Structure 1
């Protein structure tokens, strides 16, 4: 289990937002002293002739794509350094007296693999022991996302590590306030939230936990003490508050708190929905990503199920 944020995986597809995504990841990595793996999955333009050794051809293609990725990464590093210097009129970081462009302490690796993005990213998360994945977030109606699909949302649903999705044009300005929107009614007593705790520790942000009731009846019937005890156990040593509110439209209620708290990051644990529910646009995560305000950190959806399974097993053994 994760004990520190050590490695950030950044899948790049060379879309218009790729430069911004990598720049954000590099700045975050510098903040939390993590290494960065810049990753690109690709398909060849044409299949090699049958007479060629397939393994050698794949290695050659991956080598060429890796060099392209290294050039792209170098360009982004220069852009980040130039932007920093323009905003601060500094060439060096006064706290460390190091050149901004050096990204001292951030080990950056570039890896290219032939294959489909979804499968390649899934494999890369495990192969390279990633602790966090940083990806782009496509915009548009949630219904369109359900029909057309999104690599980012697909990875969120299967990843065993957090996935940080960035809206278009969002730049890294530090993480001072983080909003964790959670359905505490579904939070198992044995829930393990150390992934979030370690992220908050690494960024030194203030954590705001939000539970929204959909109806007055839910407000009257919900006993919150067990959930509050679970939060207290998980967030020892973390600066956090818990808020309760009533909002029939959960997605709208969450975004309202994002604005009011001036949150730099929203944290969710996506719940699994049937295809029918997704097509009816009942997914809170889908609604949030359709009109994003801030970056979204998606915690592994299996976290809650693992805790629930462990509790059920313990009860059956009594």
Structure 2
């Protein structure tokens, strides 16, 4: 891990993400790229070009000062931190920046959403997850302050999940973290017998020549929804982080119906990391 991107809006949530990035950066001797997205209101944007330039410069200088104060924190000492101010209009452009910077990871804070707000406007977290080609860690209630001991990878053991799983395995091996897998069956999913599910899992493991230890780290959970099943097993397995695969721009993982992959990232109290299929 060489470079971590952290979107910053000066909130407590983005500070938690920055603290988490600092912890991982110190463990891996990595650089942090802190990004603030400066957006001009429609009212300003509709003014004359000279007025727009004047206001843009004013806001840029103001943000630059605030950014400097925000990054002047003890927990960032001894870490290379590069501040970037971008005139992004949409959060999907973070993926473009991640490619330009050759970043290994995006870490962002989120308070999540619920109810009608979630239905109509979603969240910036979801937009980043949909477009990012690099793994995204979503930090919720607390910053990462200690090593991950147990990670949980939720999937349906289809061929689509092979690449995300191998990426997750590589990352968590580097972090000396135990990786467990879970398959959730629900009343609304296409019925499969226990034998069929186990055959599917064994076929998946055979395709990647997985060892017996990994095969023994697989759980089959029955619950009323995939989300509930993942959260239940995460608690039972004492997981420190949940990993999921996503189709990105399609907004859902192959495993999940609707937008459950994004819902897990939105509603989990644990950190969630997404891997692009």
TM over 0.5, shorter chain: yes
CA distance in 2, matches of 1:239, 1:226: 11
- Correspondence for 2:183 among 193, 211, 232: 211
Map of 1:315 onto structure 2: none
- Correspondence for 1:108 among 72, 81, 88: 81
CA distance in 2, matches of 1:62, 1:28: 29
- Correspondence for 1:70 among 56, 62, 68: 68
Map of 2:240 onto structure 1: 264
Mark the runs of 5 or more structure 2 residues left unpaired by the alignment.
Answer: 252-256
Q: Is the 8 A contact 1:10 1:135 kept in 2?
A: yes
- Partner SS, residue 217 of structure 1: coil
- Correspondence for 2:19 among 17, 20, 23: 23
Mark the runs of 5 or more structure 1 residues left unpaired by the alignment.
Answer: 81-100, 276-280, 304-318
Structure 1 segment 1-318 matched on structure 2, within 5 A: 5-44=1-40, 46-47=44-45, 50-51=49-50, 54=53, 62=60, 65-74=63-72, 77-78=73-74, 80=75, 102-103=77-78, 106-141=79-114, 144-184=117-157, 186-188=158-160, 191=163, 193-214=165-186, 217-222=192-197, 223-224=199-200, 225-233=202-210, 241-271=217-247, 282-300=258-276, 303=277
Question: Which whole-Å deviations, capped at 9, do the CAs of 1:84-141 have from their partners, x for residues lacking one?
Answer: xxxxxxxxxxxxxxxxx633xx321111112324144233112211111011223232
Map of 2:254 onto structure 1: none
Question: Which whole-Å deviations, capped at 9, do the CAs of 1:246-290 have from their partners, x for residues lacking one?
Answer: 234211111011111111100011357989xxxxx9432244244
From the CA coordinates, give the structure whose radius of gyration is larger: 1
CA distance in 1, matches of 2:161, 2:154: 17
Q: Is the 8 A contact 2:95 2:133 kept in 1?
A: no
TM-score where L is the length of structure 1: 0.71
CA distance in 1, matches of 2:194, 2:159: 16
CA distance in 2, matches of 1:188, 1:16: 36
Shift of 1:43: 1.9
CA distance in 1, matches of 2:230, 2:272: 12
**Segment drifting more, 172-181 vs 57-66:** 57-66
CA distance in 2, matches of 1:221, 1:282: 24
CA distance in 1, matches of 2:261, 2:89: 24
TM-score where L is the length of structure 2: 0.80
CA distance in 2, matches of 1:128, 1:62: 22
